[in-house]
C-alpha cells in the first residue's frame, strides 16, 4: 500500500432540504419521499422558492412554495407545516455488529491489534470504543518501513494531540468534508491518518410537529419536538465503510501514560432520498478503493481533497425504527428492526447527537 495506489472515490451525494410533520409511520414514509413525498429542494441557506408543486402526502401546493432555511412555511396545509431541522450535524449514533473474523476477512487485515473482544453494538454512541481499520507502519519500525493494515478499537470522538484533556473528544465526533482539510483539529489527520469505520448503518431522527390549529400549534411549539428515529443502511446489506480520521493522544504531564487512540467520522451532504430525513450523512468509501484511502503516503491536502467527489444516490435504504434507540442504555438487534405503525416505545430524546 504505497502512494502509487489508485486514488479512491468517496460517496459524497448532494444536499437537499428535509421536512417534518406529524404523521404515523406510513405517512412519514410518504411525507419524506419514499413514495410520493416532497419534490421541492433548497439550495443552501437563505430563502429559496420551489419551481414545482410540492407533494405532501398526496396534496399538492398551488404556485410556488417558499423554502427558508430548509423550512417550507407557505401554501402548506395546517397539519403539514414544516419545522426547520438541525443543519450540519450527523452522525451521532450507528450500529456495528460484524464479528472480529468477519472484519479481518472483509478488510484483508494484516495485523489484529484490536485486543480484547469485539462485541456487536447496535447503539454506538460517542466516547465508545469502535472497530477501525487503518494502515500504519509497525511500532518502532525503521524509516521507510511499509505500512500494514491493522484492525484496532478506537475511542469515538477525536482528541487532537495538542488538546489539554480528552473532554474535547465528545464534541468532535464528526468532521465536515467541506472544511476538514483546513480545521486545525483535523487537517494533520486528514493528510496522513485516515481510517475506515465499519458499520451496518446509522441512525437519524426525523422531527415531527403537530399543528392542527394555530393556537394549539403555538403551545406545542414551546415543547420539545417529537422525533422518529430512522435506521439507514446500504441496500445490498454490505458493510458500510465510513471514512474516518484518527489521532493519538496522552496527557502532557504523564509521559508514562498509554497512548489513547481516538477517531471521528467524516460527513457530507445527503442525497435527495435521505436529505428529507437529515441533510448530512457519513462519507462512505467503496471497497475497491479502500487501499488508496488508507494509504498514509498520500499526504498532500489538495490531492486528498480531490478524493471527495459526488456519487450517485439511491444506494441506501431508510426505515423507521423503535424509539428505544433514543436511550444509549438500550442495545440489541431489535433496535434496527423496522418499527410498526404507531410505535411509541422508548422515550423522546430532546437532543439529536
In this prediction, residue 12 has a pLDDT band, given cuts at 50, 70 and 90, of: very low
Q: What is the pLDDT of residue 288?
A: 81
Q: Is residue 348 part of a domain?
A: no
- The CA distance from 81 to 61, in Å, is 12
| Arithmetic mean of pLDDT, 118-134 | 97
* Bigger pLDDT: 329 vs 73: 329
Cell of 169: 473528544
Q: Is residue 87 predicted with pLDDT exceeding 70? A: no
Among 28, 51, 84, residue at a domain's last position: 84
117 catalytic? Reply is no
Q: What is the pLDDT of residue 140?
A: 75
- The CA distance from 207 to 89, in Å, is 14
Q: Is residue 328 part of a domain?
A: no
The pLDDT tens digits of the residues spanning 250-303 come to: 988 888 889 999 999 999 888 777 877 888 889 988 888 899 899 999 988 887
- The CA distance from 148 to 110, in Å, is 6
Same domain, 185 and 288: yes
Q: What is the pLDDT of residue 277?
A: 84
Q: Is residue 222 predicted with pLDDT exceeding 90? A: no
For the chain, what is the HEC assignment?
Answer: CCCCCCCCCEECCCCCCCCCECCCHHHHHHHCCCCCCCCCCCCCCCEEEECCCCEECCEECCCCEEEECCEECCCCCHHHCCCCCCCCCCCCCEEECCCHHHHHHHCCCCEECCCCCCCCEEEECCCCEEEEEEEECCCCCCCCCCCEEEEEEEEECCCCCCCCCHHHHHHCCEEECCCCCCCCCCHHHHHHCEEEEEECEEEEEEEECCCCCHHHHHHHHCCCCEEEEEEEEECCCCCEEEEEEEEEECCCCCCCCCCEEEEEEEEEECCHHHHCCCCEEECEECHHHHHHHHCCCCCCHHHHHCCCCCCCCCCEEEEEECHHHHCCCCCCHHHHCECCCCCCCCCCCCCCC
Among 62, 84, 106, residue at a domain's last position: 84
Number of residues that this document lists for the chain:
353
In this prediction, residue 144 has a pLDDT band, given cuts at 50, 70 and 90, of: confident
Q: Is residue 98 part of a domain?
A: yes
Question: Could you tell me the CA-to-CA distances from 108 to 12, 105, 237, 290 in Å, in that order?
Answer: 25, 5, 19, 10
Same domain, 45 and 27: yes
Q: Is residue 98 predicted with pLDDT exceeding 90? A: yes
Q: Is residue 4 part of a domain?
A: no
- The CA distance from 306 to 155, in Å, is 28
Same domain, 188 and 291: yes
Residue 131 belongs to a domain with what CATH number? 3.90.1680.10
Same domain, 23 and 74: yes
CB within 8 Å of 42: residues ≥ 6 apart: 16, 17, 48, 67, 69, 70
Q: Is residue 117 part of a domain?
A: yes
* Choice among 7-11, 72-76, 85-89 with the minimum mean pLDDT: 72-76
Q: Is residue 77 part of a domain?
A: yes
263 catalytic? Reply is no
Contact 265, 282 (CB under 8 A): yes
Same domain, 259 and 285: yes
Q: Which of 40, 195, 204, 263 is catalytic?
A: 204
Q: Is residue 19 predicted with pLDDT exceeding 90? A: no
Q: Is residue 39 part of a domain?
A: yes
In this prediction, residue 312 has a pLDDT band, given cuts at 50, 70 and 90, of: low
Cell of 121: 453494538
Same domain, 155 and 23: no
Q: How many CB atoms lie within 10 A of CB 311?
A: 15
Same domain, 120 and 80: no
Same domain, 76 and 117: no
Q: Is residue 76 predicted with pLDDT exceeding 70? A: no
Q: Is residue 211 predicted with pLDDT exceeding 70? A: no
Q: Which of 91, 195, 247, 263 is catalytic?
A: 91
> What average pLDDT does the structure give for the chain?
74
Q: Which domain holds residue 33?
A: 19-84
Q: What is the pLDDT of residue 217?
A: 58
Same domain, 177 and 246: yes
Same domain, 76 and 107: no
Q: What is the pLDDT of residue 25?
A: 53
Same domain, 135 and 251: yes
- Find where cell 473482544 sits: 117
Same domain, 284 and 182: yes
* Choice among 39-43, 201-205, 326-330 with the minimum mean pLDDT: 39-43
| Arithmetic mean of pLDDT, 49-58 | 35
Among 35, 59, 84, residue at a domain's last position: 84
Q: Is residue 345 part of a domain?
A: no
Instruction: Count structural domains, the chain.
Output: 2
Percentage of residues in the chain having pLDDT higher than 90: 44
Amino acid at each position: 500500500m504505497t502512494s502509487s495506489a489508485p486514488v479512491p472515490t468517496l460517496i459524497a451525494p448532494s444536499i437537499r432540504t428535509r421536512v417534518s410533520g406529524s404523521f404515523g409511520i406510513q405517512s412519514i414514509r410518504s411525507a419524506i419521499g419514499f413514495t410520493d413525498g416532497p419534490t421541492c429542494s433548497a439550495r443552501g441557506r437563505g430563502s429559496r422558492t420551489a419551481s414545482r408543486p410540492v407533494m405532501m402526502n398526496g396534496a399538492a401546493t398551488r404556485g410556488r412554495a417558499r423554502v427558508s432555511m430548509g423550512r417550507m412555511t407557505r401554501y402548506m396545509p395546517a397539519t403539514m407545516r414544516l419545522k426547520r431541522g438541525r443543519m450540519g450535524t450527523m452522525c451521532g449514533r450507528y450500529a456495528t455488529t460484524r464479528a472480529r473474523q468477519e472484519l479481518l476477512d472483509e478488510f484483508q487485515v494484516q495485523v489484529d491489534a484490536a485486543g480484547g473482544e469485539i462485541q456487536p453494538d447496535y447503539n454506538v454512541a460517542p466516547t465508545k470504543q469502535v472497530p477501525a481499520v487503518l494502515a500504519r507502519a509497525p511500532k518502532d519500525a525503521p524509516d521507510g518501513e511499509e505500512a500494514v493494515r491493522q484492525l484496532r478499537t478506537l475511542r469515538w470522538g477525536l482528541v487532537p494531540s495538542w488538546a489539554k484533556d480528552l473532554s474535547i473528544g465528545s464534541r468532535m465526533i464528526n468532521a465536515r468534508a467541506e472544511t476538514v482539510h483546513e480545521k486545525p483539529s483535523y487537517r494533520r489527520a486528514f493528510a496522513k491518518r485516515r481510517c475506515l469505520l465499519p458499520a451496518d448503518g446509522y441512525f437519524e431522527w426525523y422531527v415531527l410537529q403537530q399543528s392542527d390549529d394555530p393556537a394549539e400549534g403555538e403551545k406545542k411549539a414551546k415543547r420539545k419536538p417529537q422525533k422518529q428515529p430512522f435506521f439507514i443502511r446500504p441496500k445490498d446489506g454490505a458493510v458500510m465503510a465510513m471514512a474516518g480520521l484518527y489521532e493519538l493522544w496522552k496527557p502532557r504531564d504523564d509521559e508514562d501514560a498509554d497512548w489513547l487512540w481516538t477517531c471521528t467520522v467524516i460527513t457530507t451532504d445527503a442525497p435527495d432520498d435521505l436529505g428529507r430525513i437529515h441533510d448530512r450523512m457519513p462519507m462512505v468509501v467503496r471497497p475497491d478503493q479502500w487501499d488508496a484511502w488508507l494509504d498514509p503516503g498520500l499526504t498532500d491536502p489538495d490531492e486528498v481533497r480531490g478524493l471527495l467527489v459526488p456519487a450517485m444516490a439511491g444506494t441506501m435504504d431508510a426505515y423507521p425504527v423503535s424509539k428505544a434507540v433514543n436511550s444509549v442504555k438500550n442495545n440489541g438487534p431489535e433496535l434496527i428492526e423496522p418499527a410498526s405503525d404507531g410505535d411509541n416505545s422508548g422515550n423522546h430524546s430532546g437532543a439529536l447527537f
